[in-house]
């Protein structure tokens, strides 16, 4: 039975990515922070996936300030030996949302603009940020490879909204945008995780989320409804910790001291689920729905709303692909298998 399931999984993966297929060119757009934060745990996965070629990493204020995102991503790339991947500094604040004392006290790194403390082990010894900004890089790389670049957007959508404002053709030229964001109350498990109905990334920059969702770009949305089906638990951590590579050592150092407190409720794998779609889209069921974001000040600021048909007030909303149901067993096996692989020895990607 197990062997049968493994064969079915392998066949599904081969169908999704035939041997010899060109890797997805991606830009990794992130409100990064050191592991155990999920953006970092996602980057460690993607770096070991031959199905994707990371052309660049763009940072944005979100979980923490953009200063922290910059320092931490440079350090992680050095630790795992992938310093050839360029990092472009992005938006230090949302488009409009200024934040309040409430925000500062509740996961308000995006608002606080704190300087970066030394990441564990110190700052990156030699790797530096690129001179160009994230927004300039996004516009340029999509122009250079029209119809080929996928943006994996794992934080507030500020950089993408600015790229769309800088270049009117951006939404038509990008291959697709895969977004971790939003929560849809009309589907199961659709409450918010920051305000009662708003998901954190969309709450931080609702105006940007609205611009991107209404842009007409091909979008795949990974909302909280599906994140809540993916919990990282101790047995899966232990499989990773049992292997010795620079990547697993980093995970062991950073997660090991916390695992004892998890019980059977480890952290949700928000960004990892969104990213896994690019490696094997058969891991999840999807639906095509209209999704819009409330950017009006008030109790629904940053709340996303979705439905199969348009409704009054949402005129201008576009249909996007929404991830709904995850095959968790196949997902977590893929995640652990990739994270525990030996470091990639393929030549570094061509610089865009």
Closest contact distance (angstroms) between CB of 63 and Ca ion is 6
Q: Are 161 and 137 in contact (CB under 8 A)?
A: no
Nearer to Ca ion, 154 or 198 (CB): 154
Question: Is the Cβ of residue 85 or residue 314 nearer to Ca ion in the bound state?
Answer: 85
Closer to Ca ion by CB, 108 or 155: give it. 155
Looking at the Cβ atoms of 222 and 300, the one nearer to Ca ion is: 222
Binding to Ca ion by residue 224, rule CB under 5 A? no
Rounded distance between C-alpha atoms, residue 148 and residue 142, angstroms: 8
**Number of residues in contact with Ca ion, rule: CB under 5 A?**
5
Residue from 35, 86, 155, 190 that binds Ca ion (CB under 5 A)? 155
List, edge to edge, every strand of the sheet that includes 87-88. 87-88, 52-59, 24-30, 149-153, 176-180, 219-222, 318-326, 284-293, 304-307
Bridge partners (DSSP) of residue 291 are 306, 318
Spatial distance between the Cα atoms of 133 and 59, rounded to a whole number of angstroms: 9
Nearer to Ca ion, 220 or 317 (CB): 220
Applying CB under 5 A, the span of 38-46, 181-189, 228-236, 287-295 interacting with Ca ion comes to 38-46
* Cβ distance to Ca ion smaller for residue 170 or 202: 202
CB of 155 to Ca ion, least distance (A): 5
Nearest to 79 by CA among 35, 49, 39: 35
We find the least distance from the C-beta atom of residue 7 to Ca ion, in angstroms, to be: 34
Shortest separation between residue 333's beta carbon and Ca ion, angstroms: 23
Residue 151 touching Ca ion (CB under 5 A): no
Strands 149-153 and 24-30: parallel
Based on the shown chain and the rule CB under 5 A, indicate whether residue 154 belongs to the binding site for Ca ion.
Answer: yes
Which residue's CB comes closest to Ca ion? Answer: 154
The residue range among 2-10, 12-20, 31-39, 231-239 that interacts with Ca ion, by the rule CB under 5 A, is 31-39
Judge contact between 217 and 174, C-beta under 8 A: yes
- Closest CB to Ca ion among 271 and 280? 271
Residues of this chain, 85-114, that bind Ca ion according to CB under 5 A: none
Tokens linked to 33: 């922070």
Instruction: Choose one: 30-38, 76-84, 107-115, 305-313; the region binding Ca ion (CB under 5 A).
Output: 30-38
Distance of alpha carbon 173 from alpha carbon 167, whole angstroms: 10
Query: Whole-number minimum distance, CB 348 to Ca ion, in Å?
Result: 25
Q: Which stretch binds Ca ion (CB under 5 A): 119-127, 161-169, 267-275, 278-286?
A: 267-275
Please tell me the chain's helix, strand, coil percentages from 3-state DSSP, rounded to the nearest 5.
40, 15, 45
Cα torsion at 182, 208, 84, 352 (round to 10°)?
120
CB 149 within 8 A of CB 142: yes
Stretch that binds Ca ion, among 16-24, 78-86, 248-256, 269-277 (CB under 5 A): 269-277
Minimum distance from CB of 180 to Ca ion (Å)? 6
According to DSSP, the β-strands at 304-307 and 149-153 are unpaired
Binder of Ca ion out of 27, 28, 29, 39 (CB under 5 A): 39
Give pairs for 190-194: CB < 8 Å, separation 24+: 190/223, 190/224, 190/225, 191/224, 192/224, 192/303, 193/224, 194/106, 194/107, 194/302
Footprint on this chain of Ca ion (rule: CB under 5 A): 31, 39, 154-155, 271
């Amino acid at each position: 039975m197990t062997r049968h399931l493994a064969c079915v999984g392998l066949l599904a993966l081969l169908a999704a990515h035939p041997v010899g297929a060109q890797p997805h060119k991606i830009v990794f757009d992130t409100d990064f922070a050191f592991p155990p934060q999920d953006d970092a745990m996602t980057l460690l996965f993607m770096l070991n996936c031959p199905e994707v070629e990371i052309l660049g990493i763009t940072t944005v204020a979100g979980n923490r300030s953009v200063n922290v995102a910059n320092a931490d991503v440079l350090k992680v790339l050095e630790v795992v030996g992938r310093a050839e991947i360029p990092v472009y500094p992005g938006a230090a604040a949302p488009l409009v949302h200024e934040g309040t004392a409430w925000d500062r006290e509740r996961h308000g790194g995006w608002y606080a603009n704190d300087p970066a403390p030394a990441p564990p082990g110190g700052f990156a010894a030699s790797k530096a940020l690129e001179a160009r900004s994230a927004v300039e890089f996004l516009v340029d790389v999509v122009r250079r490879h029209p119809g080929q670049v996928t943006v994996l957007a794992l934080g507030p959508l500020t950089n993408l909204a600015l790229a769309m404002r800088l270049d009117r053709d951006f939404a038509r030229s990008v291959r697709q945008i895969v977004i971790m964001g939003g929560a849809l109350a009309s589907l199961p498990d659709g409450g918010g995780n920051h305000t009662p109905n708003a998901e954190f990334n969309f709450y931080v920059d609702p105006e940007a989320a609205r611009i991107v969702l209404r842009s007409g770009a091909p979008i795949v949305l990974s909302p909280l409804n599906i994140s809540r089906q993916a919990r990282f638990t101790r047995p899966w951590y232990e499989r990773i910790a049992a292997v010795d590579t620079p990547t697993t050592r980093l995970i062991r150092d950073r997660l090991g001291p916390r695992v004892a407190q998890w019980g059977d409720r480890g952290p949700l794998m928000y960004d990892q689920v969104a990213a896994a779609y690019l490696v094997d889209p058969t891991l999840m069921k999807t639906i095509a729905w209209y999704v819009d974001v409330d950017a009006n000040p008030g109790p629904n600021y940053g709340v996303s709303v979705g439905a199969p048909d348009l409704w009054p007030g949402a005129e201008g909303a576009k249909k996007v692909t929404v991830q709904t149901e995850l095959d968790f067993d196949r997902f977590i096996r893929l995640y652990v298998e990739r994270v525990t692989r030996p470091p990639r020895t393929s030549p570094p990607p061509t610089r865009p």
